[in-house]
Structure 1
Amino acid sequence: MEWISNQNHVLLALAATLMTWAMTALGAAMVFFFKEIKQSVLNTMLGFAAGVMIAASFWSLLAPAIELAEDSFLPAWLVAAIGFVGGAGFLAVADRIIPHMHFNAKDGESEGISTHLKRSILLVFSITLHNIPEGLAVGVAFGAVANEMGSLSVMSAIAVAIGIGIQNFPEGAAVSIPLRREGLSRSRSFFYGQASGFVEPVAGVVGAASVMFIRPILPYALAFAAGAMIFVVVEELIPEAQSGNHKSTHLATAGCIIGFAVMMILDVALG
């Protein structure tokens, strides 16, 4: 019966991350209505996404990780720190290996291993890279619920999924519309935009299955997802959101504050 329950939570994680991917696709569909996106709007979207991820990293991941680690033979703060640094380190290695390019980068300024891939593909890889920890965060949250450990509840896990889904909508638009500006057709821009979010269901299922069947790694896994998300925020979202004139950077800051507040309210109210 326990295996059946665990299987149900894997399916819940899959359903939740399919929803977050669908929100990315809905956002990417904005390319059928708009060809251009103002720098100020793009910066606000990226700032909002950063705020959501920062709030989710603490309330939905780090705080539960510390609580669950209280019974560990290591100090709870050390468990959380190990997982957090491990998550950031994993993304740092991936950032150096996976070829990608930031939207404000010029031609020839790609990161990762050397490649001859087109600029449009490298731009998509950039977004795909930071969708991995988002999917992990949702999956690990549902895995924690299946283990019935700590104060995490189904509503807490759902709150994480809703928060990630909300920020995925503008994120999808922030991918597809610039790709249209790069010269791709609307249909191709939409395809690449929604495809950037499809890694989330994969990461979600992997995260949920891992922590449910290897219970001792749960606090580490929660902190790992938090570290990976904070790395993305500091390495990619905030620098890109702060590009442009002072007006657009101020809007990015406002977007971050609003995103943080939205995710905090969701987690506290639903969790």
Structure 2
Amino acid sequence: MAVVVLSQVNYRTGKLRDIAATTKLINDHGAEVIWDLAHSAGALPIDLNGAGARYAVGCTYKYLNGGPGAPAFLYVHKDVQDGGWQPLSGWHGHASPFAFDADYAPAGDISRFRTGTHSALAYTALEASFSLWAEVDMQALRDKSLAMSELFRECLADRLEAHGIKDMTPATSERGSQVSLIDSQHGYAIVQALIARGVIGDYREPGLMRFGFAPLYLSFEDVWQAAHHFRAVLKSGEYQNSQFHVRSAVT
């Protein structure tokens, strides 16, 4: 069987894919789909069951706020859990880990996909984050996310074209929680100049300046200030300083 791996939100453009429609299309052609939720989990409502999706993976260090080193996650629909196999079989995935049998027998539920003991410190940070998520209205979060990204774009709209910067962010209904701008000549330096001012975006070749909005704790004031710094960097030309053109391993 063919398997398709897709990100719900395209990491470059920020375009949001329709999980239900895409899953049905792929399944109708006899294939399975594994959804990558790295750029959507914690930024918008996700209904994998309602969409008919059976498999998904993702990370918790981005919008779920687990921080550096936070564990990844795996989703397998309960109807197909006993048909999957974790090639990195570990003690925590055993059906009876304290039986100490000579042969390995995977658990009959989702726990069969565990490998071994993960970092307790990483889980502690994630647990603190999840305690907040239990109280979050995801639709309200989504509404705020879209409003924040739109505010950022509106604050910059009259300056981008003059500086040769292209806004490739999708329309509101097709957007994740990011704004994507392209400047193939100065993109890297602009992002570095903004970081020096405390506005943390990131850069991806070729020319992509990416700005993500975590609505759980960012404010509209934060967004306005970020746009203000962006405008100042463009107006002053400070991104042309040599220090902002030095490439580092992490962009």
TM-score w.r.t. the length of structure 1 is: 0.25
TM-score w.r.t. the length of structure 2 is: 0.26
Higher strand share: 2
Higher helix share: 1
More RCO (CA 8 Å, sep 6+): 1
Pick the structure with greater CA Rg.
2
